[in-house]
Chain A
Amino acid sequence: MDLHRHLDDELSSLRDRVLLLGGEAEQALDRAMYALSERDSDVARQVLDHDDQVDQLEVEIDRQCIDIIALRQPAARDLRFVISVAKMAPVLERIADHACNIARAALDLNNEPELKSAMDLNQMSEHALGMLRAALDAFTSSDAIAARQVIKSDTEINDLYNHTFHRLIELMVTEPATATRDARLLFVAKHLERIGDYVTDICELTVYMAEAAFIKHT
């Protein structure tokens, strides 16, 4: 039937786009953390310059979702997919924004002497990246079980954040000279923790899409 062939093509194209956006978010986070830990300002600037394209991609996805709903009246599984993508795109875009914030922090920190405490953040960022990749994989294969697993691992990021928070506050009190830099690092940690929360949102959308179950706010 012609009608559903067009719909299938459009759904495929939408899936490709949102996975591309996911890839962009992943890459932005990866490179921002690289810029921070390797003190590479060029990479940081690349992340910032690239953000416009990421925003543009989100707008396109948004528009395509509305078109599909208006013109194709998707139902059941297809409808849940399109709605989930429409909600997921802004989340991915915000992850990329947080990565940009991390890149800006890196630029600032790179103008100042190195701090040893950056290492904890690497652990957090590895975890966040891992979660993001796993969430995108779960979305691609509509795997609700894997998605739920990823949600569970958000607690680790929160624990790491708390730990880092206390460490940095301690440092700010004991070594006031590095307070500004410690504060910037604290914000980076906060961004990473927020990214963890966003990845949780993505997993909740995946569960809805696969099982029609609302697990938000549970």
Chain B
Amino acid sequence: MPVETVAPKIELPKKRDDSVLVQKSSTVKVSVHDLNFFYGRAQALHNISLEIPERIVMAFIGPSGCGKSTFLRTLNRMNDVIPATRVDGKVLIDDHDIYAPGTDVVELRRKVGMVFQKSNPFPKSIFDNVAYGLRINRITNSSSELAGRVEQALKDAALWSEVKDRLKSSALSLSGGQQQRLCIARALAIRPEVLLMDEPASALDPIATSKIEELIFDLKKQYTIVIVTHNMQQAARVSDTTAFFLLGKLIEVNTTEKMFTAPNEKLTEDYITGRFG
């Protein structure tokens, strides 16, 4: 007698979550309008207009000197520390123009955190590094709450298990990859809303790099992340949308999938296929 079998349910792979891409219904976190940027007389950015939705990862790609790092730094006004720079245009974060006179730059930088290309831990202990932002912004007075925030930040940066027994030891005793994750923890400790990453993995070996990339993947559930990278494969692996810059101009913004299979602009395609740059 034939046994009745139920046909096994075939599990189709989950479709890529397209709902957080540009031009869909999600909220816009950062909105840039006609941004021009000058180093003295030289114009570094030309009429950049761009929208960054919240809780996605956007990658900035382009050849060296194309302005992607300069543009990144306009988003938290880090270019202010360079003398003789001038900004023209609007950068709106949560609908507030950060270049409007009277803007509290310190508060802006608390909201928009930054991780740099070469990790730059302070010559203090691991704990003091992560606590630095919390202390100077007087985020908490209680030392137990401070310790709790430090622990959480280190966990978010996937570093806690490696350093929990030596929080008081020097930050400089960590490896390169660990130092970079420490800098990420330091930035995360003050709970920014946007995280800017300027080639965060370019000085790291492949294993450390992939740890950082996995971390970014987890972080985007909570933060809006903008990452500058000169490594196109990294942009393809990590980001939801990609923006291509060339000579200070924004050439194209597109979903990463489209960017790497069928970009709109010929210049973009030439760059991506390695025809120049």
Contact = CB atoms under 8 A, between A and B. Distances in A.
A151 to B, nearest CB: 21
B254 to A, nearest CB: 11
A76 B273 contact: yes
B238 to A, nearest CB: 15
Task: Please classify the interface of chain A as helix (H, G, I), strand (E, B), loop, or mixed, using the class held by over half of its residues.
Answer: helix
Interface residues of A, number: 13
Of the listed residues A76, A80, A212, the one surrounded by the most CB atoms of chain B closer than 10 A to its CB is A76
B262 interface: yes
Interface residues of B, number: 13
A78 B274 CA distance: 10
A73 B272 CA distance: 10
A177 B231 CA distance: 72
Contacts of A79: 260-261
Interface in B256-277: 260-263, 269, 272-276
Nearest to A1: B274
A4 B269 contact: no
Interface in A31-61: none
B262 to A, nearest CB: 3
B142 to A, nearest CB: 51
B5 interface: no
B232 A75 contact: yes
Contacts of B272: 75-76
A212 B259 CA distance: 12
Interface string A71-92: 0011111111000000000000
Contact of A3 (B236, B260, B274): B274
Given A212-B261, A212-B262, A76 B274 contact: no
A213 to B, nearest CB: 9
A7 interface: yes
B19 interface: no
Contacts of B263: 76
B141 interface: no
B260 A76 contact: yes
A4 B261 contact: no
Contact of A80 (B232, B261, B274): B261
A4 B275 contact: yes
A1 B275 CA distance: 8
Interface in B105-161: none
Contacts of A4: 273-275
A112 B89 CA distance: 86
Contacts of A212: 261-262
A76 B263 CA distance: 7
Given A7-B274, A75-B273, A76-B263, 13 more contacts: A1-B275, A3-B274, A4-B275, A7-B273, A75-B232, A75-B236, A75-B260, A75-B274, A76-B260, A76-B262, A76-B272, A76-B273, A80-B262
Interface of A: 1, 3-4, 7, 73-80, 212
19 contacts: A1-B275, A1-B276, A3-B274, A4-B274, A7-B273, A74-B273, A75-B236, A75-B261, A75-B274, A76-B260, A76-B261, A76-B262, A76-B269, A76-B273, A77-B262, A77-B273, A79-B261, A80-B261, A212-B261
CB-based closest 5 A-B pairs: A212-B262, A4-B274, A75-B272, A76-B269, A78-B273
